[in-house]
Amino acid sequence: MTDLELDGNRVRYYHERRAAEALVGKPARKDISKDARKRLLREIEARAFAFDLIDEMPLLPFIVKKVRLVLDLDVSSSLQTSIVRMEIGEFLTFLEICMDVFMEHRRDPNDLDVLQSILADDASAYRFQPNDHGASPFFVLQELDNEHLDREIVDRTLELTRIATFAPAQRDYEQAWKNYAQGDLDGALVDAHKAFESAAKVLIKRIDSTSTPEQLTTGQLVDELKRLDIIPARLGNMLNPLVQVFRNAGVLRNAPGAGHGSIDLTSPEANTALLGLHLSGSLVFFLAQRWESMKPKS
How much is the pLDDT for 207? 92
How much is the pLDDT for 1? 33
* Distance between CA atoms of residues 130 and 205, nearest Å: 47
Strand, helix or coil at 126? strand
Letter for the amino acid at 243?
Answer: V
Contact 118, 43 (CB under 8 A): yes
Contact 282, 239 (CB under 8 A): no
How much is the pLDDT for 260? 44
Which stretches within the chain are classed as H helix? 14-22, 34-55, 60-71, 79-85, 88-105, 109-121, 146-156, 167-181, 185-207, 218-227, 240-247, 268-294
* Distance between CA atoms of residues 223 and 120, nearest Å: 39
How much is the pLDDT for 158? 64
* Distance between CA atoms of residues 4 and 261, nearest Å: 42
Enumerate the domain spans of the chain: 3-151, 158-294
* Distance between CA atoms of residues 99 and 286, nearest Å: 36
How much is the pLDDT for 134? 66
* CA dist list (Å): 157 to 21, 22, 236: 5, 9, 26
Q: Show pLDDT as tens, one digit a residue, over the chain (298 residues).
A: 334 433 345 667 777 777 776 766 566 678 999 999 999 999 999 888 876 555 667 899 999 999 999 999 998 888 888 888 999 999 999 999 999 999 888 878 788 888 988 888 887 888 888 887 767 788 899 887 655 555 555 555 566 776 778 888 888 988 888 787 777 888 888 898 899 999 999 999 999 999 999 989 888 888 899 889 888 877 767 777 666 766 665 555 445 444 444 445 556 577 778 778 888 888 888 888 888 888 776 5
What are the residues facing 124 on neighbouring strands?
29
How much is the pLDDT for 98? 95
Contact 257, 183 (CB under 8 A): yes
Closest CA to 293 of 203, 201, 226: 203
Handedness of CA 223, 225, 230, 235 (dihedral sign): negative
Question: What would the DSSP string read from start to end of 205-258?
Answer: HHH-TT--GGG--HHHHHHHHHHTTSS-GGGGGGGHHHHHHHHTGGGGTTSTTT
Contact 45, 34 (CB under 8 A): no
How much is the pLDDT for 5? 39
* Distance between CA atoms of residues 20 and 40, nearest Å: 15
* Distance between CA atoms of residues 178 and 157, nearest Å: 11
Closest CA to 90 of 107, 67, 119, 111: 67
* Distance between CA atoms of residues 171 and 46, nearest Å: 34
Closest CA to 155 of 128, 127, 191, 123: 123
Contacts of 103 (CB under 8 A, 6+ apart): 111, 138, 139
Class level of CATH domain 158-294: mainly alpha
